[in-house]
Chain A
Amino acid sequence: MKHTLIENIKRFLFSIFLFISVLYFPAIADENHFEYNHISIFNQAGNLSADDSILTHSINNTIKYRFESIPYISVIPDSDIEMNKNLIDIQKLWDFNKEEIIQVKKLLKTNIILIGRHIEIVPGEIQSEFCVIYLPLDETIRKTKFEIRLKFLNIDEFQVKIFEKLIKELPFSVGDSFWTNKVLITNYNAFWLLGMGLQQLEHDNHNAAINALIEAVKKDPGARDIYFLLGQYYATSRFDYKQAIYYLDKTLEIQNNDPVAYYWQGFIYYLIADYESAIISFEKSYNILPEKVETILFLATLYEEEGNYDFSETFYRKAIKLVPNRASTWYSLASVLSIIGKNDAAINALRRTLELDNKSFFDLVKTDTDFAAMKHNKDFIQLIEDFR
């Protein structure tokens, strides 16, 4: 009898343990299943008046720039959205059309879609509408739509209020630096001119856009976002890299710990093949914001190009730690490992690449001359056989 009782107590305790395990299992799995967010921001400008469209551009742009310096977040570049704009129907996204959402996820490799439109309902009062579509790893789609009504009195206070309301609805935390590093536009006219410049750029009226932006910096010489936009514009649209560096330097004069400005400076040096300067700028960006995977990948690539393979391997591994499921990073790591003769590790990295994306990489693995030295390695032959 006593024996049965002890047995039953044991069973009871064991079942409680199992029950707790079941309850906590998803949480444990979630913790280990880390997700790095790639956010794409759209202006839902349809059916807006010209003035509301200007407002939408400036508010969404301010949001975009703030998000770029949040840890574990990458903002999808405008050029990627531009490249695919004929294939994306923003109205359908706004209406939560599932096919459209899946299409955008595929095209932009994004897992958060944010659409915002902002209307001045009465003078001095803004109604902002946001649509957030979140595509987590479990392939579900979570979506929400909400409205904010705000008084448009003090422009920098207004921007902070927008962030506060918006961030509550987003599936990530922004970190403390988000609130401390807020070099915002403080002049209403400058905010307006920024939106006007962006709107003109969207319509390819480049001269009008530049005039508006130059006027904007005159109104608010401390406006980091406007200098930054000018730097980006000269780099990506005019290919005037000297001018781009000039405006990014101005950005860094305003905020000398701006990781995104250093990132862009590095990117421009990379474009003009000044690899030494590029490494310096990317290192600065990395030291301030070590969670930005694009910076890490650039450093890995640049060190590889400079022949510093140990550093390159270290940075590829850091990138993989942040974004473990990106096949191209595993593939690049495999290339470096193969060059320095770490064949076993290279084959393991290739195996991971093919597990993640066999379709894109199988032929590459077979033909890439970086792996030519391993062609007769039995493990490499086996790898090809396994994924054929």
Chain B
Amino acid sequence: MTRISNIFKSLLILTASIYLCSLVCASGCQTNDIQNKEQENIPSKSQNFPVHNSFSVEIIKNFSDSKTIKDIRNSGILKVGTLCDNKPFCYKNDYGAARGFEVDISKQIASILGVKLNIIDNQNKVHLTAHHISNNPDDEDFLIKYFFQPENTWICFRTDNDHQFHAAIQMIVDHLYETGAYQNIYKKWIGKRSSETGEN
């Protein structure tokens, strides 16, 4: 009987040991899994989507030498400065989130660059500023402007002084204009009768 009892005891100890080992192994494997994932993750993918569109691929590849684009891609954030106090161009909703025409355009730009957008309520330390104006602004370096009738509004973007970044933003804004995205955002926020005329 004692022998049988010892066999039971041994079996019990063995089983418990296997069980404990499996528990330790399972939690250890999970930790390793997370650690490996941390090591393997490609940095700065703040967005949920892969780059679906070859236009994005072109922009990111062709302007990969741009210091600003590198900064944006590495940080995962496009910082756009705008005065957020004028509906429908830029205003804060009941929750304090920025909304409006300039915000939606900036979101499209950020989406093409594969990063998240941050609207900053001033014009300093940003990658890009967006604003609207009723008089034709003077042509100057790093300024991109579009005119809309009949509202007689100039929409302007000013990039930081990185020529490559400026060229990339010019291409993106032109692309948004050519594909109709720009006009759709204009219609949504400013007027149903958006003009077909754009000007660089």
Distance of B34 from chain A, by nearest CB (Å):
7
* Stretch of A78-86, A89-97, A207-215 at the chain-chain interface: A78-86
In the complex, B152 has a CB within 8 A of chain A: no
Distance of B36 from chain A, by nearest CB (Å):
6
Interchain CB contact (< 8 A) of A15 among B8, B53, B57, B181: B8
In the complex, B198 has a CB within 8 A of chain A: no
Known interface pairs A22-B18, A273-B185; A360-B45 also in contact (CB < 8 Å): yes
Of B16, B53, B119, chain A has the most CB atoms within 10 Å of the CB of: B53
CA of A57 to CA of B33 in the docked complex: distance in angstroms? Answer: 36
In the complex, A177 has a CB within 8 A of chain B: no
Interchain CB contact (< 8 A) of B16 among A12, A18, A341, A355: A18
Q: Which residues of A contact B75 (CB under 8 A)?
A: 363-364, 367
Q: Which residues of B contact A11 (CB under 8 A)?
A: 8-9, 12
* Stretch of A64-72, A164-172, A301-309, A377-385 at the chain-chain interface: A301-309
CA of A102 to CA of B179 in the docked complex: distance in angstroms? Answer: 38
Interchain CB contact (< 8 A) of A1 among B1, B33, B97: B1
CA of A38 to CA of B41 in the docked complex: distance in angstroms? Answer: 15
CA of A267 to CA of B180 in the docked complex: distance in angstroms? Answer: 15
CA of A364 to CA of B41 in the docked complex: distance in angstroms? Answer: 15
Interchain CB contact (< 8 A) of B48 among A102, A297, A307: A297
Query: Does A137 lie within 8 Å of B15, measured CB to CB?
Result: no
User: How many residues of chain B are within 8 Å of chain A by beta carbon?
Assistant: 66
Query: Does B55 lie within 8 Å of A274, measured CB to CB?
Result: no
CB contacts under 8 Å to A, within B8-28, are 8-9, 11-12, 15-16, 18-19, 22-23, 26
In the complex, A14 has a CB within 8 A of chain B: yes
In the complex, A357 has a CB within 8 A of chain B: yes
In the complex, A205 has a CB within 8 A of chain B: no
Q: Which residues of A contact B180 (CB under 8 A)?
A: 241, 272
Q: Which residues of B contact A239 (CB under 8 A)?
A: 53, 55, 175, 178-179
Interchain CB contact (< 8 A) of B34 among A76, A80, A301, A356: A356
Distance of A260 from chain B, by nearest CB (Å):
13
In the complex, A236 has a CB within 8 A of chain B: yes
Query: Does B38 lie within 8 Å of A359, measured CB to CB?
Result: yes
Distance of B190 from chain A, by nearest CB (Å):
13
Q: Which residues of B contact A273 (CB under 8 A)?
A: 104, 108, 176, 181-182, 184-185, 188
Query: Does B36 lie within 8 Å of A139, measured CB to CB?
Result: yes
In the complex, B96 has a CB within 8 A of chain A: yes
Q: Which residues of A contact B54 (CB under 8 A)?
A: 79, 82, 236-237
CB contacts under 8 Å to A, within B124-161, are none
CB contacts under 8 Å to A, within B157-186, are 175-176, 178-182, 184-185
* Stretch of A142-150, A186-194, A324-332 at the chain-chain interface: A324-332
Q: Sorted from nearest, which 8 A-B pairs have the closest CB atoms?
A: A273-B181, A18-B15, A273-B184, A360-B43, A297-B48, A15-B12, A369-B118, A272-B181
Some 9 contacts from A to B, beta carbons below 8 A apart, are A15-B12, A138-B29, A139-B32, A139-B36, A272-B179, A332-B48, A339-B96, A357-B37, A360-B44
